Amino acid sequence: MKYTTQMDAARKGIVTPQIKTVARKENMRTEDLMERMARGAVIIPANRNHVNLDPEGVGEGMRIKINVNLGISKDCSAIESELDKVRAALDLKAEAIMDLSCYGKTREFRRRLVEMSPAMIGTVPIYDAVGFYDKNLQDITVDEFFDVVERHVEDGVDFLTIHCGLNRHTAEKVKQSKRLTNIVSRGGSLLFTWMEINQAENPFYEHFDRLLDICEEYDVTLSLGDGCRPGCLHDATDACQVEELITLGELTKRAWERNVQVMIEGPGHMAMNEIPGNMMMEKRLCHGAPFYVLGPLVTDVAPGYDHITAAIGGAIAGMSGADFLCYVTPAEHLRLPTLEDMKEGIIATRIAAHAADVAKGYPGSRAWDDAMSKARAALDWPGMFDLAMDPVRPRQYRESSKPEHEDSCTMCGKMCAVRNMNRVLDGKDIQLDD
């Protein structure tokens, strides 16, 4: 029996290699996985041209996945340095990489990225369109926008971020609103500008079926971008954001009718108390589709530390229903991240994702923490390092400040609570003085 997409296969009862792999990774019955895929609650982004993909599931009942943004730009166009970041991201177990390249040899970078990466790959084609055609934004035609989309999917990209929900009606809401930061989505702002100058509808909204044709042909997942995501706490959960979300829910149902997999992108900046309600609202308005969030960043006053503000929000979002976390680095709002910035962002986001998995009771997640606790109780330093999310840094800290006694550290020395409890419970004497 033939199928067009992973969703189509699930609806027809066909167990694809990708479905089999994800079921094994998630320790889930294939029948349960396929039921969730059939109704759109789980996606497996898997472009048929991405031949070395190690597929992952995103959505209901899945372990929370993380995404890493990178790519070349006019100011930082060195392909090899960005590929070094790709290798590091894969080593740090990122499940997805988004290529946000917008200038230079973007297709060469994208093709090399797809070729080397077993992680799923996403792109935002409108970024590439501006640099590729090398002409004013307003002069790019509808056909040219779609030609870039086709180029990306031909190259093997697994999911596309397209800001289809920012139509002219919502654009009017933006102009009437009293937002402090207007539109902060790069893709959203480009489409808003194109619509305003040309007095035309968003081409991806107006010609949504054409976009679905492309996605269906290559089995590409559509990541419906949030052009009106809040760029500060003040703008969170306003009419612009909610109206666009309603439109994305309508587009989701149209995509599912064509067996095209969908995930929804969300905020942005948002106070902690608003996050659970936003997660519930998205799931309701978008019919249970997987939710992909940037942060959310829970305060606006920590530039240089936004990987922390995002990890706080990401943990709350994940616990409340978000399925996919986009990393944020310390360089957010400031510059293209360095390799070290990227590592900091990945670890912070992985911490948030794992903390949310523990809170939700994802099978096996607590066992990792329990294993670490046992190693700590036994003062098994090598065991602790092996179990650490990032084994490198704890080893470096330990080596940089060696204690007098191997069964302690330089913080507590002989007053180490764990050491002394172990000794007294074993009936040994405790000598605190030298």
Q: Which residues are annotated as a binding site?
A: 69, 98, 127, 163, 185-187, 226-229, 265, 269, 292, 333, 409, 412, 416
Number of neighbouring beta carbons within 10 Å of residue 359: 15
H-type alpha helices, 77-140: 79-91, 106-116, 125-133
Q: Is 329 helix (H, G, I), strand (E, B) or coil?
A: coil
Q: Cα(381)–Cα(187) distance, rounded to whole angstroms?
A: 47
Q: Cα(26)–Cα(100) distance, rounded to whole angstroms?
A: 29
CA-atom Rg of the chain in angstroms: 23
Name the amino acid, one letter, at 5.
T
Count of CA atoms in the C-beta half-sphere (13 A) of 173: 17
Backbone CA torsion sign across 108, 151, 73, 123? negative
Structural contact between residues 182 and 232, judged by C-beta atoms closer than 8 angstroms = no
Q: Cα(100)–Cα(73) distance, rounded to whole angstroms?
A: 8
Q: What per-residue string of b and e applies to 134-157 under the rule 16 or more CB within 10 Å gives b?
A: eeeeeebebeebbebbebbbebbb
Which residues participate in the annotated binding site for substrate? 69, 98, 127, 163, 185-187, 226-229, 265, 292
Q: Cα(121)–Cα(109) distance, rounded to whole angstroms?
A: 12
Which residues participate in the annotated binding site for [4Fe-4S] cluster? 409, 412, 416
Sequence-distant (6+) residues with CB within 8 A of 17 are none
Q: Cα(37)–Cα(59) distance, rounded to whole angstroms?
A: 9
- Angle 211-39-154 from CA coordinates, rounded to 5°: 30
Residue 67: name the closest of 119, 128, 125, 6 by CA.
119
Which residues participate in the annotated binding site for Zn(2+)? 269, 333
| Pairing assessment for the beta strands 159-162 and 291-294 based on DSSP bridges | unpaired
DSSP E strand boundaries for 87-185? 96-99, 120-123, 159-162
